[in-house]
Structure 1
Amino acid sequence: MQIRDVFYVSDGTAITCETVGHAVLGQFSFQAHERTFPFVESNHKLEELIKQIELSFSQRGTKPLVFFSIVLPEIREALSKAPAELYDVLGGFVGKMEQDLGLAAQPKLQRSRSVTKDSDRYFDRIAAVEYTLAHDDGVSLRDLEQADIILLGVSRSGKTPTSLYMAMQFGLRVVNYPFIAEDMSNMRLLPEFEIYRYKLFGLTIEPERLTEIRENRLAGSEYASHQQCLEELAVVEGLFRREAIPYINTSSLSVEEISTRILEQTGLKRRLV
């Protein structure tokens, strides 16, 4: 399979470049080696970026793909001379909107997703992340009334990364609870969750994928054995069906896709934009 280096470059966080890039790359069949370069707003960072692009071109023999969002004209100009296939993530939209609105854009560094410490949004995000970290992996089952959603699933089914993504990107307070091997012989819904059934959502995963993930963590262990993964998933999915808990399979989904599908199925709304 063809291999191409892919760079995400921005004078901000590069989150937008990554999001657009992933959506576009998903349409093509090749292996992408991805790197992200945020806050490229100085000559020092620009020089390091150009050096990495040139190194990629020299080693691969093909130009790397660069998804970029750059405001400063001098940095855009320097980047345009690099040996890369360049894709301006926002340029096409900005130019068209200038024509449609009859207004000139007023570029400003890091305007997108800007959150100041004086804004309610900033403190909402921090509170959501702090709550989610305090309720990660079943550490605490206190203050469940404050939770927006409670994620359930076996160990390594994607609960923690999904919880943190939903907290950071959507401002949601997320509890996640893992079912472990000791739970399998008497699988039941915890009493703490009974009155919050409407907040419960399950994550499951294909046994082969779960085995692979656990092997990377604890190779050769009973925890990572295919049979153990099969048994745990069968028991937990049985609980989901018995208790009418909605759930999705995370095997082939990115954390962004998992989070968005959860919002779609539950009707939860993003608190941060």
Structure 2
Amino acid sequence: MKRCVFFISDSTGITAESLGQSLLTQFEHIEFDYHTVPFVDTIDKAQKVVEDIKQMGLSNGHRPVIISTIVDQQISQLFKAIDAFMVDIFSSYLSPLEQELKQHSTHHIGRVREIDSNPRYTQRIDAVHFALDNDDGGRTRDYDKADLILIGVSRCGKTPTCLYLAMQFGIRAANYPFTEDDMDNLKLSECLKPYKNKLFGLTIEPERLSAIRQERRSNSRYASLRQCQQETKEVELLLQKERIPFINTTHLSVEEISTRILSQVGIER
């Protein structure tokens, strides 16, 4: 059974998508067909989306599911009037909050994404630039400015984790890879030793690493299971010897990896 799900928003749709997918992952025996529709901020736009949802429901044979963060009640009412199951995130929580705080909400579209005079936004952008500039050991002279330095074998998830930490939390994260050439005499590089308190290791199961590398360099020594087994073993031994905390990323999403790192090293979000 496949159910159509629409994430509807008068802004970017990120909030509806994130919360909606978190809820729907709890229903593992149902296949979902996701559709994200951002910037539904006028009646005309909403009416067009309503028609699309109606048609999708007719062709699918099941009521569509709508996850909405529409603030405007007139627009929101258009979606509530059709034959669909709707989760209205803002109306579910704003009214109780208004009662508790004894103040009416502004009902301002896109408030959560405003960037004017927002130091956190600037911090995140700066952190993204830092992550890109200090990716894959390309630059090491700025490690004194890093909040965190991820180390591990190539393709174990260092770069996406650094970028997620930067974009989501404004954390300056660099990453440094251990390469095939390092394996004969693996040790901490001189550029890492002064910042040992900032180091965190990522490791991965050799089978998964080999599969990832095959997509990059098929049938190469770099992607061979034997090479992946050697590299992961040597790096894990080094991390244990140097007492550097690390986690296995094999079955974790980048969000889970990032959250676990922050929890272990004690960096506040």
TM-score by length of 2: 0.88
2:192 is paired with a residue whose SS is helix
Aligned residues: 268
Distance 1:258 1:49 in 2: 36
User: Match of 2:240, as an amino acid?
Assistant: R
Distance 1:84 1:212 in 2: 41
2:111 is paired with a residue whose SS is coil
Deviates more, 1:195-204 or 1:97-106: 97-106
Answer yes or no: is the 8 Å Cα contact 1:166–1:172 preserved in 2: yes
Q: Render the CA deviation track for 1:215-256: whole Å, top value 9, x for unaligned.
A: 333333333333322222112111111111111122222222
Distance change (3 Å), C-alpha of 1:50 and 1:263 = same
Where does residue 13 of structure 2 map in the other structure?
14
Distance change (3 Å), C-alpha of 1:73 and 1:223 = same
Q: Render the CA deviation track for 1:110-135: whole Å, top value 9, x for unaligned.
A: 1114221x333332222111111101
Answer yes or no: is the 8 Å Cα contact 1:20–1:89 preserved in 2: no
1:192 is paired with a residue whose SS is coil
- How far residue 84 of structure 1 moved from its aligned partner, in angstroms, is 3.5
Distance change (3 Å), C-alpha of 1:44 and 1:181 = farther
Distance change (3 Å), C-alpha of 1:47 and 1:171 = same
Answer yes or no: is the 8 Å Cα contact 2:161–2:257 preserved in 1: yes
Q: Render the CA deviation track for 1:52-90: whole Å, top value 9, x for unaligned.
A: 534543453333433220112232122224554321223
Answer yes or no: is the 8 Å Cα contact 1:5–1:32 preserved in 2: yes
Distance 2:6 2:181 in 1: 44
- How far residue 14 of structure 1 moved from its aligned partner, in angstroms, is 2.4
1:36 is paired with a residue whose SS is strand
Distance change (3 Å), C-alpha of 1:246 and 1:100 = same
Distance change (3 Å), C-alpha of 1:49 and 1:196 = farther
Answer yes or no: is the 8 Å Cα contact 1:65–1:84 preserved in 2: yes
Where does residue 101 of structure 1 map in the other structure?
101
- How far residue 48 of structure 1 moved from its aligned partner, in angstroms, is 5.8
Where does residue 23 of structure 2 map in the other structure?
24
- How far residue 5 of structure 1 moved from its aligned partner, in angstroms, is 3.6
State whether structure 2 residue 148 is matched by structure 1 residue 152: no
Q: What are the equivalent positions in structure 2 for 1:204-243 lying under 5 Å apart?
A: 204-243=203-242
2:215 is paired with a residue whose SS is helix
Q: What are the equivalent positions in structure 2 for 1:45-84 lying under 5 Å apart?
A: 45-46=45-46, 49-50=49-50, 52-54=52-54, 56-84=56-84
Distance 1:229 1:4 in 2: 40
Answer yes or no: is the 8 Å Cα contact 1:162–1:259 preserved in 2: yes
Structure 1 gap ranges (5+):
none
User: Match of 1:159, as an amino acid?
Assistant: K
| Identical residues among aligned pairs (%) | 44
- How far residue 100 of structure 1 moved from its aligned partner, in angstroms, is 2.4
1:34 is paired with a residue whose SS is strand
Distance 2:52 2:176 in 1: 41
Structure 2 gap ranges (5+):
none
1:94 is paired with a residue whose SS is helix
1:224 is paired with a residue whose SS is coil
Distance change (3 Å), C-alpha of 1:153 and 1:96 = same
2:184 is paired with a residue whose SS is helix
Answer yes or no: is the 8 Å Cα contact 2:47–2:78 preserved in 1: no
Distance 1:82 1:255 in 2: 37
In the TM superposition, structure 1's runs of 4+ consecutive aligned residues that sit over 6 Å from their partners are none
Distance change (3 Å), C-alpha of 1:197 and 1:56 = farther
Distance 2:56 2:234 in 1: 48
TM-score by length of 1: 0.87
Deviates more, 1:144-153 or 1:122-131: 122-131
User: Match of 1:201, as an amino acid?
Assistant: F
